[in-house]
Amino acid sequence: MSTGTERHEFQTEVRELLDLMIHSLYSHKDIFLRELISNASDALDKLRFEMLSRPELTPEGELEIRLEADKDARTLSVHDNGIGMSRDEVVANIGTIARSGTREFLRAMHDSAAAEGPDSLRDRSVGGLGGASRAPQEMIGQFGVGFYSSFMVADRITLVTRRAGEATATRWESTGDGYTLDDAERVSAGTTVTLHLKPKDEEDGLKDYTDALTLKDIVKRYSDFVTYPIRLKAETLNSMKAIWARGKDEITEEEHREFYKHISHDWNDPLEHISVHVEGNFEARALLYIPSKAPFDLHMRDGVHRGLQLFVKRVFIMDDWRELLPPYLRFVRGVVASDDLSLNVSREILQKDRQVQAIKRHLVRRILAALKEMKEQRPETYGTFWTEFGAVLKEGMISFEDSHDKILDLVLAPSTESAPPIGLKDYVARMKDGQDAIYYMTGTSRDAAARSPHLEAFRARGWEVLFFVDPVDELWLRLPRQFEGKTLVSAATSDLKIGTDEEKAREEEARKASEESLKDVLLALRAALQDEVKDVRLSTRLTESPACLVGDAGDLSPQMQELLRRAGQEVPKVKRVLELNPNHQVMTKLRQLHALDAKDPRLAMYAELLYGQALLAEGGALPDPAAFSRRLTELMLQT
């Protein structure tokens, strides 16, 4: 029976709400098509469910979503042959935005935005057109927010729908100030939404939504894994291959390679794939990939790299979901999919709730476990990973995460005994008798660190020293670290004493004896270098070189000072300790000079040269190269 045309005016609050949605709620106008396709997919799901008990509702053709663009009329239509809606359901599901609760909803949006920003609003049910109403407590879902996003790109929307099993169709139309309802004709059940598009405006983000390439791009980005075919003319635009929903043994390596390249836009094959299934109070699946090559922007925290993608009900919600992985795992690519996650009103920003934190913890555990397995079972593959991503992974050692020990177990470094990097477990396994710590050197490169005079005593004993040469090493190694009960100790620390207790005692006794015989020389050198170093003393670590510079605990290393300068920070002058080899011929020469004339100017010249030589030996830069050259020339002429 015909019910005639009805006109419904929107209240002032509704118009304000629409204006807020159109201009503020969504960050990209393309999202309107995602919303309409999601609504159509929901309607198809509901028809399939209802067909289980009412097989007579089965449509003649395949369940599908069709796009139809008319350039001349400037219209875009989204068709589905799903459950459709009765006239009352149209009012309930599309006209919901005009209900008496709008004032409260609008107030809640404003209050939430003022307190936490728009992402504090939640939509736990992101369904759409057609079918049963949402639960009363799921307020945002009731208001058809996704459907009304079409007003971002259209100045008029027409909807024609017919519920499965009914003969009458309904026409709904709105220009944003209200809507009209009327009877309509439709051959079969389903819904058609037609957008009368606004003119193209690139500055305002309005594209030509009648252009086939534009539509294909949007569908590929947002709706590629929707279960039903999305067609434009005779072409199917989506792959429908949500491989994360399949068992991990059901996915071939070729499918993994193809899927990885699809989501990452990386032409290289992935190094590793990890399937994750989170179960409990909610369910989520993840399919993660470790690339084989580092992207160019890996070390740029705010770069354009692509991280994890979020899908809810197979619909793309978010790209580069950084909240789900700590920065030190930002090289991981993949998807996280769930039907249970809490979204905000625009379905763009995931809420920072316990679900997110639980997924994050689970993913971090699985990734670190996969890396450990790779390191132990496939060392060559892990070597490739470490070369590309090791420096980033070590950033986790300075994070607030609780995975420091697991990351430390994954660390590799070259050493005095091995050019290929080794793990700490291998280092500990070949420690010499009497060695009670893990020794390391930092530097700008392995070669530069290997030339350091600090290593002479270690080489004399055959003790291995690790080389850490990434900038991040200067940060995480400043904190106390232990591995399997062994403390990591810098070979350049000032209070270093190595060897057995007997050796330490013997060397200390010899040092004190030398210090007594050289005390006047040391006083003269201290006086000459008082502006450059905090002390001049004898060393037990040098066996060949005449001098080296060491720092006290807590001092900024030369590499750390350089990092701070590059970051534009002022670095206060750090005085270190100049250690001298008491058995070197230079010290014999200085003793002789001092014995002949305690005021010999050559003593100060020697002091400056020893300081400069120590700087050069560690790969540092001379504060005044010209002065160093003059002193060297003068001394040569006087000899």
Share of the chain above pLDDT 90, in %: 48
State which amino acid sits at residue 3: T
Span 460-504, pLDDT tens digits: 999 999 999 998 998 899 888 999 999 999 998 888 888 778 887
User: CB–CB of 151/18 below 8 Å?
Assistant: yes
Query: Which residues sit opposite 79 in a β-bridge?
Result: 66, 192
Q: Give the fold, CATH level 3, of 411-490.
A: Rossmann fold (3.40.50)
Burial class (CB in 10 A: 0-12, 13-18, 19+), 63: buried
Of the candidates 639, 443, 454, which has an alpha carbon nearest to the alpha carbon of residue 543? 454
Q: Hey, which residues does 76 pair with through a beta bridge?
A: 69, 195
Spatial separation of the C-alpha atoms in residues 233 and 139, rounded to whole Å: 37
pLDDT higher than threshold 60 for residue 260: yes
| 160: helix, strand or coil | strand
List CB contacts of 203: < 8 A, sequence separation 6 or more: none
Specify the amino acid at residue 568: G
Confidence of residue 142 (pLDDT cuts 50, 70, 90): very low
Indicate if the pLDDT at residue 298 is higher than 90.
Answer: no
Share the mean pLDDT of the chain. 84
Query: Among 61-70, 285-294, 511-520, where is mean pLDDT lowest?
Result: 511-520
Q: 3-state DSSP: the chain helix, strand, coil percent, rounded to 5?
A: 40, 20, 40
Query: Under CATH, what is the fold of the domain 244-377?
Result: Ribosomal Protein S5; domain 2 (3.30.230)
Run of H or E residues at 506 = helix 501-517
587, pLDDT greater than 60: yes
State yes or no: pLDDT of 108 exceeds 80: no
Poorest-pLDDT segment among 164-168, 431-435, 567-571: 567-571
Max Cα separation, the chain? 125
CA-based nearest residue to 603, from 614, 615, 616, 594: 594
> In the prediction, which pLDDT does 145 show?
63
How high is the pLDDT of residue 302? Answer: 60
Q: Which of 67-76, 287-296, 499-508 has the lowest mean pLDDT?
A: 499-508
Burial of 420 (0-12, 13-18, 19+ CB in 10 A): exposed
Q: How far, in Å, CA of 146 to CA of 470, rounded?
A: 48
Q: What sections of 530-601 are H helices per DSSP?
A: 558-566, 585-596
Could you tell me which residue, 112 or 630, shows the higher pLDDT?
630
Confidence of residue 130 (pLDDT cuts 50, 70, 90): very low
The predicted pLDDT at position 305 comes to 57
- Sequence-distant (6+) residues with CB within 8 A of 320 are 305, 306, 307, 308, 309
The CATH architecture that domain 6-235 belongs to is 2-Layer Sandwich (3.30)
| This prediction's pTM | 0.75
Residue with tokens 């062994």: 486
Q: Residue 114 — pLDDT band, cuts 50, 70, 90?
A: low
Among 328, 297, 486, 352, smallest CA distance to 402 is for 328
- Give me the mean pLDDT over the 506-532 stretch: 90
Q: What is the pLDDT of residues 312-327, one digit of tens each?
A: 878 888 777 777 889 8
Show the tokens assigned to 382.
């892990």
Give the CATH fold of the 501-638 domain.
Answer: Four Helix Bundle (Hemerythrin (Met), subunit A) (1.20.120)
pLDDT tens digits for range 378-416: 999 999 999 999 999 999 999 887 889 999 999 999 999
- 3-class secondary structure, 346: coil
Residues 410-439, mean pLDDT to the nearest whole number: 94
Is residue 143 a contact partner of residue 96, using CB atoms and an 8 Å limit? yes
Question: From CA 9, how far away is CA 178, in angstroms rounded?
Answer: 4
Q: How confident is the model at residue 12 (pLDDT cuts 50, 70, 90)?
A: low
Sequence ranges of the domains in the chain: 6-235, 244-377, 411-490, 501-638
pLDDT digits (tens, 9 = 90+) for 191-219: 999 999 999 887 777 899 999 999 999 99
User: What would the mean pLDDT of 571-596 be, rounded to a whole number?
Assistant: 90
pLDDT value at residue 282: 80
Q: What is the pLDDT of residue 107?
A: 56
Provide the residue type at 422 as one letter.
Answer: I
When pLDDT is cut at 50, 70 and 90, the band that residue 139 belongs to is very low
Contact partners, residue 155, CB within 8 Å, separation at least 6: 175, 176, 196, 197, 198
